[in-house]
Structure 1
Amino acid sequence: MWDGMDELDPAWADEYMSAVIEPYESGVLTPKTVQLLCIAVDASCTHLFAPGVRRHIRAALDMGVTPEEIFEVLKLCTTVGIHSMNVGLPILREEAGRTHS
């Protein structure tokens, strides 16, 4: 996935990879929590990165996370998308109520 990144800008690639790996290695969050957060980020409607969702679900299952726990995370991700309705519906009602010429 990252092929070529280090060829174009090795310094930036090193810094980026160091920052990305931090949550995995810091010990602040449990490995289970890190995987569940990665699932949430990759499955969120603003990201929708299926390869990442698959990779992190597999990793979570391999470390003993239950399918039910993962499903709860996926259900929480759906709440991000509901804001489209919260923003769009009032505008639709307002505009649909106007007289169009």
Structure 2
Amino acid sequence: MTEDTNSYPVVEAMKAGGGWNTLWDGLYDMDPNWTELYMKMAMEPYQSGVLSPKVVQLLCIAVDASATHMYAPGTRRHIQAALDMGVTPQEILEVLKLATVVGIHSCNVGVPILVEEMEAHKQRQSDN
């Protein structure tokens, strides 16, 4: 595929800056226009200035390290960036601790179902 890389400045900047995930290559090859628009939207929190760069990196660490995402390359990249910005290891550790709370939802969902099924099992046993 021949492409004009000037047409996709966000993607090209991400590739040049090390923020590109090679898992996105197929998507980019199949639909570079959509990928560029998506990446432009995804980069907005970095560029808007509403949140400080440190807060953005800490949030990215939380998302990438969360039980629902567990994306080690992104976690590593954002930890490195945060450390380079002066975020302390203790601050990063606290974010990682907070991210573990996401996993508790498996108990919030599973335990009530377990209790219901235990009762249903007991009922089936007593019916036999």
Q: TM-score, normalised by structure 2?
A: 0.73
Q: How does 1:2-13 map to 2 (within 5 A)?
A: 2-13=24-35
Residues 1:64 and 2:68 aligned together: no
Fraction of identical pairs, as percent? 66
Q: Find the structure with the greater CA-based Rg.
A: 2
**Alignment correspondent of 1:41:** 63
**Alignment correspondent of 1:19:** 41
**Separation of aligned partners in 1, 2:49 and 2:89:** 24
Q: TM-score, normalised by structure 1?
A: 0.90
How many residue pairs get aligned? The number is: 101
* Runs of 5+ unmatched residues, structure 2: 1-21
Q: Which has the higher helix share?
A: 2
* Runs of 5+ unmatched residues, structure 1: none
After TM superposition, give the deviation of residue 88 of structure 1 in Å: 1.1
**More divergent stretch after superposition (20-29 vs 31-40):** 20-29
Counterpart AA for 1:29:
L
**Separation of aligned partners in 2, 1:85 and 1:4:** 36
Deviation readout 1:6-54 (Å, 9 max, x if unpaired): 3211210110121121111111110000000000110111111011000
Q: CA RMSD in A?
A: 1.4
Between the two structures, name the one with larger relative contact order (CA 8 Å, sep ≥ 6): 1
After TM superposition, give the deviation of residue 73 of structure 1 in Å: 0.6
**Alignment correspondent of 2:6:** none
After TM superposition, give the deviation of residue 61 of structure 1 in Å: 0.5
Q: How does 1:81-92 map to 2 (within 5 A)?
A: 81-92=103-114
**Separation of aligned partners in 2, 1:95 and 1:17:** 44
